[in-house]
Amino acid sequence: MAVLLPKKTRYRKTMKGKNDGNATRCNTVAFGDYGLMSLDNKDVTSRQIESARQAMTRYVKRGGKIWIRIFPHTPITRKPQDVKMGGGKGDPQFFAAKVKAGTMMFEIAGVTDDIAKEAMRLAGHKLPVRTKIVKAEEV
């Protein structure tokens, strides 16, 4: 699977906005047996999501099912290097998912507890947020 991108966006460039508080949606294990929960509020890029997904799928070796619960909708802009102030906003460079504390980012089912926990741990190392592994009953 390639890097996640939205098919179409309403606006080419969006404002940064705030990313405060705890998640009120996507904050429970809905599909799998184990979930990887975010403990920070940050932007997670499409490359980081893909990298975490690859780490999980490689570890479980075609076993089980993995759900990605976040999607990078927000375009992040950058100005080129050595460009003076002014001259408008930079061009979109990549897409990111706005992740809040308590958001369930990944879920896994159909594998043993040890494999699920290790796969989640490996995925957590690829992400810019602190994470916590939660079981379906605990939340």
Confirm whether 126 is domain-assigned: yes
Residues spanned by the domain of 56? 34-80+88-135
Confirm whether 19 is domain-assigned: no
Contacts of 118 (CB under 8 A, 6+ apart): 59
Count of domains observed in the chain = 1
The pLDDT assigned to 47 comes to 95
The pLDDT assigned to 87 comes to 93
The pLDDT assigned to 62 comes to 82
Contacts of 103 (CB under 8 A, 6+ apart): 23, 26, 27, 37, 38, 69, 70
Find the helix or strand (DSSP H, E) in which 74 lies.
strand 74-78
Confirm whether 127 is domain-assigned: yes
Confirm whether 24 is domain-assigned: no
Confirm whether 11 is domain-assigned: no
The pLDDT assigned to 69 comes to 95
Confirm whether 7 is domain-assigned: no
Confirm whether 121 is domain-assigned: yes
The pLDDT assigned to 138 comes to 58
Judged against a pLDDT cut of 60, whether residue 139 lies above it is answered with: no
pLDDT in tens, 49-70: 999 999 999 999 988 999 999 9
pLDDT in tens, 76-132: 999 999 999 999 999 999 999 999 999 999 999 999 999 999 999 999 999 999 999
Confirm whether 68 is domain-assigned: yes
- Residues 88 and 63 sit within 8 Å (Cβ to Cβ): no
Average pLDDT over residues 21-45: 94
Find the helix or strand (DSSP H, E) in which 67 lies.
strand 65-68
Burial of 105 from C-beta contacts in 10 A (0-12 / 13-18 / 19+): buried
DSSP state of 113: H
In CATH, what number is assigned to the domain containing residue 49? Answer: 3.90.1170.10
